Structure 1
Amino acid sequence: MKKEENTRLKEIRSHGTKTFPCAVYRTSSKGQGVMVKHHWHDEVEMLYFDKGGFLLEVNMEVYPVESECICFINPGELHSITKICSEESGEDAIVFHPAVLSFESYDAAQIELLQPIQNGRLLFPRQIFPGDAVFEEIRQYFKEILMIFHKDGTEKLWMTKGGVTDDVVSQMYIKSSLLRILAVLWKYQLFTVMTENGNKRVEEIKKVLSYIKGHYDEKIYIRDLAKLINMNEQYFCRFFKKSIGRSPMVYINEFRIRQAMHFLEDTDESVTEVAMECGYNNLGNFLREFHRQTGTTPLKYRKNSQNKKKSLTNI
């Protein structure tokens, strides 16, 4: 099995379909810890938290989510979500490519709003709270979009893998609600103009994460990661931990085990083959690390994932 390369450091997942790049997701967790790993993509992401207890990190800046709120992630921004409350809760996300809203004719909306968003010259506001004038209206349109996707998809599949729709009428309603959200933000002048392209630290950490994503099946040395961004090893380790929240080797092992989980779910390869695909030349080390992160064995994990797929197909 050949691993897909990703030299541009982006999330590999496609959001929506080729003709309608828009999808919804529900992410939830019972315990504390990282709920959504560091990643980025070319799409806009809108997040809705119905309660507090989270830390949203965007481009290495932390935004506490202490109550109900709506958050926006601009294209290309490195972001993650950490859950700090103990009760079961999560967030809903709508992810769409700005091109899905573009008009063929160049009217004022296309020139002044849609094209600048697509070109990265206009940025969405980071957080909107219930006390803000636009909150109720944006939340209404957000939930309308969720309901359309929910209606068109299987609930359990929507909750686990994300929702898409090929229905033309549904797509028109979704585009209408998205445009209404943009109209409200524009009306209240909540977009900001991108003044300069470049947080150097963010670009450096993206470069390192890209390398890990493209070479996780090989031996990765800290010195090689440090050389990528012209740092010595000691400073690099401090820089990486401050940026991502854990050491380079911990992150690499977490990434490798996540890949192993995908291989166990989607292929019939043996555990030994999966371990080798994920950069573990020692099976014992792989088994220990897999159990440490998941609390189970690779074979039990594969069996449980197969049972879940069977239950979804029987809906």
Structure 2
Amino acid sequence: MVEKGDMTNMSVQSLPSSLKETRTQGTVTFPCTVYRADASASEVPHPFITKVHWHDAVEILHFIQGHFRVRIGMEEYDICQEAFCFVGSGKLHAIYSADGYLEEALLFSPYILESPGVDSAERDLIAPLRRGQLALPLMIDESSPAFCQIRHEYQVCQAIFESRSRIQGDQHMLEDAASQLRVKAALMNILATLSETRLLGEPSGKEDPRLETLKKVLGYIRDHFSEKIYLSDLAQLMNMNEQYFCRFFRMAMGKTPLTYINETRIRQASVLLQSSELPVAQIAEDCGFCSPGHFITAFRKFTGTTPKRYRNQQRVHPASF
């Protein structure tokens, strides 16, 4: 079942990533890859959190098991049964699941599907998808006539990546021609299924244009988290007064600007705690906290533990997010 929900009270233990993912998904010549989040794969229980971000790739999310809260643009959804979610290029999105989750993601650049010819498929489906002129369905669950076929083609892609890809970090690199061709064919079949079942359409044009400006605000926070950040500066980026900006930010993000700033700082601090021997006081200063005491209080609020305990825990059981 897919319902609108509330993500306001997310806790934070995930590692940082840029608001816009600038890394190549897969390889430069074949920008396509897969990811997996499996609660049973870790000895130490932790929530699955993908913070608000966007990328140029199209993403197909497969929610297999567990309860998920998903934000796409300014809408929030509760997902508690198997479903697929399609995230178009440039869409702000975030995911949260507390425990018991199993989720997969397939990301690809629409350019891998293009062909030099101008047949009907290229003209009516692939080119519009590449230009952002084709609206993908938001959610598809078992009630959709397209569900079984999409699941089959999706599983074909996953099986190919699992058996034929080279893994580098969390990246799956698919390099042989036959495997790439089979993945392209499966993606084409997914697009064809969506077209045949009339689940594709034109973009509604209803997305709030302020979301594009909000990306600049989130990017500013990411780039300046180590400094003192003033609400007046953030509001000015969106040409709003502070009161209206705070209301809009909470409506769009499900949290206040201060909460988002602290989450960003805590994520960076968690990286430094794992990857360096810097004293806690130094990490607090480097991450923009006014004092070590404030840092420890905020860190405990968001992670449920102290910076020192977190550092020791990660050395024994490194978290995988």
TM over 0.5: yes
Structure 2 residue 173 is matched with structure 1 residue 167: no
State the one-letter code of the partner of 1:115.
A
Partner-residue secondary structure (3-state), 1:123: coil
Higher mean displacement: 125-134 or 227-236:
227-236
Q: TM-score, normalised by structure 1?
A: 0.82
Task: Report if aligned partners of 1:60, 1:243 keep a CA contact under 8 Å in 2.
Answer: yes
Instruction: Pick the aligned partner of 1:82 from 93, 96, 111.
Output: 96
SS at match of 1:93: strand
* 1:108 matches 2:117: no
Decide which of 20, 23, 30 is 2:30's aligned counterpart. 20
Counterpart of 1:216 in structure 2: which amino acid?
Answer: F
Q: What residue in structure 1 maps to residue 75 of structure 2? A: 61
Identity between Structure 1 and Structure 2 (%): 39
Task: Work out the CA distance in 2 between the residues paired with 1:203 and 1:94.
Answer: 24
The residue correspondences of 1:157-306 to structure 2 (distance < 5 A) are 161-196=170-205, 198-266=207-275, 271-298=280-307, 300-302=309-311, 304-305=313-314
State whether residues 34 and 104 of structure 2, in contact with CA within 8 Å, keep that contact through their aligned partners in structure 1: yes
* Corresponding residue number in structure 1 for 2:152: 140
Q: 1:131 to 1:32 in 2, by over 3 A?
A: farther
In structure 2, relative to structure 1, the CA distance for the partners of 1:293 and 1:64 (3 Å cut) is: closer
1: CA distance between counterparts of 2:63 and 2:246? 33
Q: How many residues align?
A: 301
Shift of 1:25: 1.2
Q: Using a 3 Å threshold, how does the CA distance of structure 1 residues 297 and 169 change in structure 2: closer, same or farther?
A: farther
Indicate the residue corresponding to 1:95 in structure 2.
107
Q: What are the Cα deviations for residues 28-62 of structure 1, in whole angstroms up to 9, with x where unaligned?
A: 45889773221111111101112462232211112
Q: Give the structure 2 partner of residue 125 of structure 1.
A: 137
Q: TM-score, normalised by structure 2?
A: 0.81
Alignment RMSD (CA, Å): 3.2
3-state DSSP of counterpart to 2:268: helix
Any gaps of 5 or more consecutive residues in structure 1?
none
Q: Matches of 2:105 and 2:289 in 1, distance apart? A: 34
Is the 1:34–1:81 Cα contact (8 Å) retained in structure 2?
yes
Q: Give distance in 1, aligned partners of 2:275 and 2:123.
A: 44
Distance 1:102 1:197 in 2: 28
- How many Å separate the matches in 1 of 2:32 and 2:274? 25
**Any stretches of 5+ residues in structure 2 without a counterpart?**
1-16
1:41 to 50, 55, 58: 55
CA positional deviation for 1:246:
1.4
Structure with higher helix content? 1
Amino acid at match of 1:43: A
- CA displacement at 1:222 relative to structure 2: 1.2
Amino acid paired to 1:237: C
Distance 1:226 1:34, change over 3 A: farther
Which one has more relative contact order, counting CA pairs under 8 Å at least 6 apart? 2
Partners of 1:26 and 1:162 within 8 A in 2: no
Greater Cα shift, 162-171 or 131-140: 162-171
* 1:239-280: CA deviation from partner (whole Å, max 9, x where unpaired): 212221111111111011112223444556554554343223
Q: Separation in 2 of the partners of 1:28 and 1:201?
A: 34
Q: What amino acid maps onto 2:194 in structure 1?
A: L
